[in-house]
Amino acid sequence: MAQNVRVIPATMNWMTSTPVTSAAKRKVAGYARVSTDLEEQQSSYEAQVDYYTSYIKSRDDWEFVSVYTDEGISATSTRHREGFQQMVADALAGKIDLIVTKSVSRFARNTVDSLSTIRELKEHGTEVYFEKENIWTFDSKGELLLTIMSSLAQEESRSISENVRWGQRKKFSDGRYSLNYKNFLGYDKGPDGTLVINKEQAKIVRRIFGEFLTGHTPFQIAKRLTADGIPTPAGKKKWSYTTVRSVLSNETYMGDKLLQKTYSIDFLSKNRLKNQGQVPQYYVEQDHPAIIPPET
């Protein structure tokens, strides 16, 4: 007897659990990010926001949710991107059906982050569309293409990091460096970029060294500075003994400068560790005016 096989068409979308013939609009959000705060990047950032707002609203089958943004944030990790995290949270809560973004590198340059996020979104019925690569994550080839593109983006990030690291070490070897003057006590940035003594702050530095030489401990010095209402290098009201110790042990105050005190363990986490011989250091003697005599 010949078999008669009758096809029963699918009536539900297997990913979104919505009727195939449903006329309901997809809830769509855009994601825009630039990795630096430079002026030219600012214009790119605003252009992305305007573009995705107009693009999503122009589609009759899409309902505009929002454009999530991260400004001046590196892409190698999604951990510290507040806009990205909020977008994912909203998607998992059912507020977003589709996320539109410029490219894989805008989304994440860390392959693990990218794939784990995409899979989590996929499980909750949220698709991501990468315009530049024309990748839709619900497509059967989407994850394969995404893995390849994410790996390439991650390798690009590694290469950039290596170039930056080489440039930084070359600068150190030439005795050049930058200083966070806002959180550093005793010096201001001079017109030619060199360190210039801040006379009022230098008095505090000399006081710390003077009290230490007369027998006061860092803890006692910190307590006295706090009681006298003297702000810390970071502008806080309360001094800690560790802040006092950092002043007492900083070679900058005797006119020298030790460079590469810390180093980055890898380009993905960007975590920094104290340099205990893992990478070369550079010691610059008589680099700038001293507040404390070297013999002190």
CA–CA distance, 231 with 233 (Å, rounded to integer): 7
Return the percentage of the chain with pLDDT > 90, whole number: 30
Indicate whether 80 belongs to any domain: yes
Indicate whether 86 belongs to any domain: yes
Q: Is the pLDDT of residue 19 over 60?
A: no
Residues 117 and 44 in one domain: yes
Task: Mark which of 133, 158, 183 sits at the end of a domain.
Answer: 158
Task: Mark which of 103, 128, 158 sits at the end of a domain.
Answer: 158
| Cβ count within 10 A of residue 224 | 16
pLDDT tens across 213-235, in order? 999 999 999 999 999 999 988 88
For residue 279, the domain's CATH number is 3.90.1750
Residues 243 and 196 in one domain: yes
Residues 152 and 200 in one domain: no
- pLDDT given for residue 11 in this prediction: 60
Residues 56 and 117 in one domain: yes
- pLDDT given for residue 16 in this prediction: 47
pTM above 0.85, yes or no: no
Indicate whether 153 belongs to any domain: yes
Residues 152 and 31 in one domain: yes
Task: Mark which of 99, 132, 158 sits at the end of a domain.
Answer: 158
Residues 180 and 236 in one domain: yes
pLDDT tens across 103-139, in order? 877 776 566 677 888 889 988 999 999 898 888 888 8
Residue 260 structural domain: 175-284
Residues 42 and 154 in one domain: yes
- pLDDT given for residue 76 in this prediction: 46
Q: State the amino acid at position 113 in one-letter form.
A: D
Indicate whether 170 belongs to any domain: no
* Average pLDDT across the chain, whole number: 80
For residue 71, the domain's CATH number is 3.40.50.1390
Number of domains in the chain: 2
- Which residue, chain included where needed, has tokens 């991501």? 128
Indicate whether 63 belongs to any domain: yes
Report how far apart, in Å, the C-alpha atoms of 104 and of each of 148, 166, 197 are.
Answer: 10, 26, 48
pLDDT tens across 248-290, in order? 988 888 888 888 777 776 655 567 778 877 878 888 888 888 8
pLDDT tens across 155-199, in order? 766 777 777 777 777 777 666 777 777 788 888 888 877 888 889
- Which residue, chain included where needed, has tokens 């307590």? 223
